[in-house]
Chains A and B, each alone.
Chain A
Amino acid sequence: EPEVTQTPSHQVTQMGQEVILRCVPISNHLYFYWYRQILGQKVEFLVSFYNNEISEKSEIFDDQFSVERPDGSNFTLKIRSTKLEDSAMYFCASSEQRARTGELFFGEGSRLTVL
Chain B
Amino acid sequence: GENVEQHPSTLSVQEGDSAVIKCTYSDSASNYFPWYKQELGKRPQLIIDIRSNVGEKKDQRIAVTLNKTAKHFSLHITETQPEDSAVYFCAANAGGTSYGKLTFGQGTILTVHP
Q: Which residues of B come within 8 Å of A, CB atoms?
A: 31-32, 34, 36, 42-46, 49, 51, 89, 91, 93-94, 98-107
| Inter-chain contact B99/A50, CB cutoff 8 Å | yes
A55-B99, A101-B31 known; A44 vs B49 contact (CB < 8 Å): no
Interface contact tally, CB-CB below 8 A: 58
Q: Which residues of A come within 8 Å of B, CB atoms?
A: 31, 33, 35, 41-45, 48, 50, 55-56, 58, 91, 93, 95, 100-104, 106-109
| Inter-chain contact B104/A44, CB cutoff 8 Å | yes
> Whose C-beta in chain B lies nearest to the C-beta of A4?
B43
Q: Smallest Cβ distance from B55 to chain A, in angstroms?
A: 17
A91-B44, A107-B43 known; A43 vs B99 contact (CB < 8 Å): no
| Inter-chain contact B101/A42, CB cutoff 8 Å | no
A31-B99, A45-B101, A55-B99 known; A108 vs B31 contact (CB < 8 Å): no
Tell me, in angstroms, the Cα distance from A2 to B105 when the chains sit together. 27
**Which of the residues A33, A41, A58 comes within 8 Å of B100, measured between beta carbons?**
A33
Which residues from chain A contact B32 at a C-beta distance below 8 Å?
101-102
Tell me, in angstroms, the Cα distance from A52 to B102 when the chains sit together. 20
Which residues from chain B contact A44 at a C-beta distance below 8 Å?
104
Q: Smallest Cβ distance from A113 to chain B, in angstroms?
A: 14
Instruction: Give the one of A31, A50, A100, A104 with max B CB within 10 A.
Output: A104
Tell me, in angstroms, the Cα distance from A33 to B102 when the chains sit together. 10
Which residues from chain B contact A31 at a C-beta distance below 8 Å?
99-100
A42-B89, A42-B104 known; A56 vs B45 contact (CB < 8 Å): no
Q: Smallest Cβ distance from A11 to chain B, in angstroms?
A: 15
